[in-house]
Amino acid sequence: MGASKSESFSDEHNEMASLFKALSHPARIAIVDYLLSVDSCICGDIVNELPLAQPTISQHLKELKNANIIKGTIEGTAICYCINPDTIDKIENHFGMIRHKLKNKCC
């Protein structure tokens, strides 16, 4: 085989796995970090910030967009990218649940 048996798992588990998969590459972590490092949204200059070719970055941005981790709005010729706080919330809530359950355990 090779494909993951996602149909065997719950929607919740698949959804969280998809979010983490979107964050599972250093280039995508670096993109998120860069978007956070400036005060406003970033219009256009992400390609110059990373040591990857433009089509590769475009592909990584697409994955982050598909996972709703970032949002992109067209501004003339460029595209402005921003973090989507709602998705950050979702991930934080997941770890809040983990933290809560860990309190009841012996480890």
Partner DNA sequence: TTGTTTTATCGTAATATTGCAATATAATAA
Partner DNA sequence: TTATTATATTGCAATATTACGATAAAACAA
User: Which stretches of the chain bind its own copies, using CB under 8 A?
Assistant: 4-6, 8-10, 13-14, 16-18, 20-21, 23-30, 32-33, 36-37, 39-41, 50-52, 71, 82-85, 88, 91-92, 95, 98-99, 101-102, 104-107
Residue 36, contacted partner among DNA, its own copies, none, CB below 5-8 A by kind: its own copies
Strands of 6-100, DSSP E? 42-43, 70-75, 78-83
**Going residue by residue from 44 to 83, which x/- string records binding to DNA, judged by CB under 7 A?**
xxxx----xxxxx-xxxxxx--------x-x-xxxx----
Q: Which two tokens stand for residue 6?
A: 């996602």
For residue 68, give the DSSP letter: T
Residue 73, contacted partner among DNA, its own copies, none, CB below 5-8 A by kind: none
Q: Provide the H-helix boundaries in the chain.
A: 11-22, 26-37, 54-66, 85-103
Contacts of 107 by beta carbon, 8 Å cutoff, 6+ apart: none
